[in-house]
């Protein structure tokens, strides 16, 4: 048997007169029908059959089932609207979870698979465009005062609202103060929460939780948080990420004769800019570091 060129097979399958093309067209037509339209049609047909039932009883025993068919159509319409969408979402979700095991493989340890599953299916909120600005100034009596400002966009990839509390968390030795949080969610709102000792033993200052709607709604949630904290002259400070964060910019400014850098990624300078468009996971960090110039040797 002579072989048929691949292009000819593709053309035959794509021909509108081809049986497969006709089948796909019919399937696409029914897939485009909204749920409420299908519900309305089924309920209307059911009511028509129920109404015609008494008038058709004298036409023979074959028409005695017409009211029962109408009731079945009416019930099918109600189920299409009330149960079908929920059931499909549940089935899609369960199928995705089952396929996930195959995607990550079976050779991983159970603890690792559980962690990956948690990140994939339980992460609702994440942060984009994280911009951190830190300015270091010498403090009278020794040490430095660091003014930190972070700007970030919060997005919700889930299907339901999720709460987000913008603010800061520090260790007691950092002596944090002057927290100010600005929320840009429609209109600007400024709050100044105090730093208080939390249950984990840290000093935290957070504004009231904000309901973050799913990103499909197109609403933007931007937050700006400011604060001050203290540290020794030649030291560093880690900035941890509490949520998955995509796209980070860190700017560090120190006095003119000092040197500063962000982790190991930048060269020491009095003004440093670090950028990374990649992903940071919760508990990952970037570090800001600074060094005071050595004291001149005494004669």
- 3-state class (DSSP) for residue 82: helix
Token duo for residue 212: 């973050």
Confidence of residue 16 (pLDDT cuts 50, 70, 90): very low
Q: Where are the beta strands (DSSP E) in 113-253?
A: 125-138, 144-156, 162-164, 167-170, 177-185, 187-191, 196-197, 203-206, 210-212, 222-231, 235-240, 245-253
CA torsion sign for 97, 218, 169, 253 is positive
Give the pLDDT score at 23.
57
Q: What is the pLDDT of residue 44?
A: 84
**Domains by residue range for the chain, with CATH:** 6-100 (no CATH), 125-291 (2.60.40.3680)
pLDDT of residue 184: 93
In this predicted structure, what is the pLDDT of residue 93? 63
Mean pLDDT of 73-92: 70
Q: How far apart are CA 106 and CA 113, in angstroms?
A: 9
Position 57 scores a pLDDT of 67
Residue listed under structure tokens 């149960």: 83
Mean pLDDT of the chain: 81
Q: What is the pLDDT of residues 195-237, one digit of tens each?
A: 999 999 999 999 999 999 998 888 899 999 999 999 999 999 9
Residue 12: band (very low, low, confident or very high) from pLDDT cuts 50, 70, 90? very low
Given pLDDT bands bounded at 50, 70 and 90, which one contains residue 115? Answer: confident
118 pLDDT tier (thresholds 50, 70, 90): confident
H helices, E strands: number in the chain: 6, 15
Residue 144: its pLDDT value, please?
97
- Residue 22 confidence (pLDDT) above 60: no
- Give strand ranges (E) for the chain: 125-138, 144-156, 162-164, 167-170, 177-185, 187-191, 196-197, 203-206, 210-212, 222-231, 235-240, 245-253, 259-262, 271-280, 285-291
Q: Is the pLDDT at 2 greater than 50, yes or no? A: no
CB 171 within 8 A of CB 160: no
């Amino acid at each position: 048997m002579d072989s048929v060129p691949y292009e000819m097979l593709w053309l035959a399958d794509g021909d509108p007169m081809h049986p497969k093309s006709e089948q796909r067209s019919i399937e696409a037509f029914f897939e485009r029908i909204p749920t409420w339209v299908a519900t309305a049609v089924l309920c209307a047909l059911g009511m028509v059959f129920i109404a015609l039932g008494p008038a058709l009883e004298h036409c023979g025993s074959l028409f005695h089932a017409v009211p029962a068919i109408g009731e079945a159509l009416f019930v099918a319409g109600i189920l299409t609207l009330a149960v079908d969408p929920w059931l499909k979402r549940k089935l899609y979700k369960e199928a995705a979870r089952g396929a996930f095991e195959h995607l990550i493989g079976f050779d991983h340890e159970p603890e690792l698979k559980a962690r990956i599953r948690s990140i994939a299916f339980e992460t609702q909120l994440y942060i984009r465009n994280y911009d951190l600005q830190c300015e270091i100034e010498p403090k009278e009596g020794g040490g430095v005062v660091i003014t930190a400002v972070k700007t970030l966009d919060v997005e919700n990839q889930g299907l339901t609202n999720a709460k987000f509390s913008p603010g800061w968390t520090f260790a007691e030795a950092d002596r944090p103060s002057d927290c100010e949080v600005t929320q840009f969610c429609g209109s600007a709102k400024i709050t100044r929460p105090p730093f208080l000792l939390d249950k984990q033993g840290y000093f935290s200052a957070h504004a009231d939780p904000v309901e973050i709607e799913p990103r499909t709604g197109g609403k933007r949630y931007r937050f700006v948080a400011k604060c001050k904290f203290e540290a020794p002259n030649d030291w560093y400070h880690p900035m941890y990420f509490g949520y998955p964060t995509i796209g980070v910019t860190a700017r560090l400014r120190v006095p003119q004769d000092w040197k500063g850098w962000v982790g190991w990624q930048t060269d020491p300078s009095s003004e440093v800019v670090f950028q990374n468009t990649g992903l940071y996971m919760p508990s990952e960090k970037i570090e800001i570091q600074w060094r005071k110039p050595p004291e001149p040797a005494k004669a």
